[in-house]
Amino acid sequence: MRIDIITIFPEAFSPLDLSIIGRAREAGFLDLQIHNLRDFTTDRHRKVDDKSFGGGVGMVMMVAPVAKALEKAREVNPKAEIIMLSPAGQIFNQELARKLSRKKGLILICGHYEGMDERIADLCDRQISIGDYVLSAGETAALVVVDAVTRLLPGVLPEGAAEQDSFSDNLLDWPHYTRPARWRGVGVPEVLLSGDHKKIAAWRQKTAEERTKKLRPDLWKKYDHQKTGRTLP
């Protein structure tokens, strides 16, 4: 998959050279291109923002440089889905990450300042928010989206690994343990040391359900409805 990112802070994406995402890029599963929005300006100051019509605090990202950057990115992948990272957008979750991982490509626009000219939204296919809180810039949100989507691309993780992650079926992951088997008087559940894979699988399913019901009742309602068809109050 090719993902293009339009940003005024290209250096913010150095973490995408590391770990799973870095290996996915090296292996050719992910083609990541970073576009500096200032390269698409026409003035000598490389200005990408201006004062808001009607007054108010803060600056607004201008539409013209963004439109030019989108045209450049679309030249290579005309079928890519254009996404504005915005607090007004659809809340990002695992289900949406899975849908995006099946797209022909993605173009992410990172906002900054007080916000973006509303006409930029008209150039996009959708808006996405990673949560109901305020960030200084959209680069952080873009990192989240790229990471979550890349993990789901075929070949990036061992077969079946992504299906075991938290949220894959509206359940949290089960507890994990490793050596030593006893640490400061606290031991590992005996079933995990038994070698009985059937019992281990049953324990993992049960504890995943118990953790979800206790820690994320909102997810538990979705899981229970998916499993039984009933709607919990």
- Same domain, residue pair 108 and 52: yes
Determine which one of 31, 81, 114, 169 is catalytic: 114
Determine which one of 2, 87, 175, 209 is catalytic: 87
Q: How many domains does the chain have?
A: 2
Residue 171 lies in a domain: yes
pLDDT tens track of the chain, all 233 residues?
999 999 999 999 999 999 999 999 999 999 999 999 999 999 999 999 999 999 988 899 999 999 999 999 999 999 999 999 999 999 999 999 999 999 999 999 999 888 899 999 999 999 999 999 989 889 999 999 999 999 999 999 998 787 767 677 889 999 999 999 999 999 999 999 999 999 999 999 999 999 999 999 999 999 988 888 777 66
- CATH label of the domain that carries residue 197: 1.10.1270.20
75 is an active site residue: no
User: Which pLDDT score is estimated for 233?
Assistant: 67
Determine which one of 165, 169, 173, 209 is catalytic: 165
Alpha-helical regions (H) of the chain: 19-27, 63-76, 94-100, 118-121, 139-150, 197-215, 217-228
- Same domain, residue pair 129 and 211: no
User: Which pLDDT score is estimated for 33?
Assistant: 97
Instruction: Identify the burial level of 148 via C-beta atoms within 10 angstroms of its C-beta, where 0-12 means exposed, 13-18 middle and 19 or more buried.
Output: buried
Determine which one of 4, 49, 139, 151 is catalytic: 151
11 is an active site residue: no
151 is an active site residue: yes
User: Which pLDDT tens digit goes with each residue over 1-51?
Assistant: 999 999 999 999 999 999 999 999 999 999 999 999 999 999 999 999 999
Q: Which domain holds residue 7?
A: 2-150
- Same domain, residue pair 73 and 182: no
User: Which pLDDT score is estimated for 232?
Assistant: 67
User: Which pLDDT score is estimated for 114?
Assistant: 81
| Helix, strand, coil % in the chain, rounded to nearest 5 | 40, 20, 40
The answer to whether the Cα torsion of 19, 24, 30, 34 is positive or negative is positive
- Same domain, residue pair 101 and 146: yes
- Same domain, residue pair 58 and 110: yes
Domain boundary among 120, 150, 180: 150
- Same domain, residue pair 117 and 79: yes
